[in-house]
Amino acid sequence: DIQMTQSPSSLSASVGDRVTITCQASEDISNYLNWYQQKPGKAPNLLIYDVSNLETGVPSRFSGSGSGTGTDFNLSISSLQPEDFATYYCQQYDILPLTFGGGTKVEIK
């Protein structure tokens, strides 16, 4: 199975900060990588698909990138807003079973 490792597992940041979350795959997954946001008590919400494509309706302060190796990926929030405090998950869909990273909880400093 492909292991997805996210870091950090949690972070504290202030409104207006730039935040970057990393996700590393245990093997090359090409560009088959999505990012989700989940708020407490809610279902996850797709933010970015195929590494860097913004899902419809997602604010442009969110962006995704990859290193080109097929194993290292980033989710960035350019200017953190109050509604962005949530848990973020990466997910690979290159090979079954589909797997998620362990999550990164973004908290208010």
Partner 1 sequence: EVQLVESGGGLVQPGRSLRLSCAGSGFPFGDYAMHWVRQAPGKGLEWVSGISWNSGSIDYVDSVKSRFTISRDNAKNSLFLQMNSLRAEDTAFYFCAKANNFGTVTTGFDSWGQGTLVTVSS
Residues making contact with partner 1 (CB under 8 A): 1, 32, 34, 36, 38, 43-46, 49, 55, 89, 91, 93-103
Residue whose token pair is 């109050």: 82
Using H for helix, E for strand and C for coil, what is the string for 74-92? EEEECCCCHHHCCEEEEEE
CB-nearer residue toward partner 1: 71 or 91: 91
CB-nearer residue toward partner 1: 13 or 46: 46
The minimum distance between CB 20 and partner 1, in angstroms, equals 20
Q: Give the separation between CA 109 and CA 91, rounded to whole angstroms.
A: 27
CB-nearer residue toward partner 1: 72 or 94: 94
CB-nearer residue toward partner 1: 5 or 63: 5
Nearest to 76 by CA among 20, 8, 12, 16: 20
The minimum distance between CB 79 and partner 1, in angstroms, equals 25
The minimum distance between CB 85 and partner 1, in angstroms, equals 17
Rg (CA), the chain: 13
Residue type, 92: Q
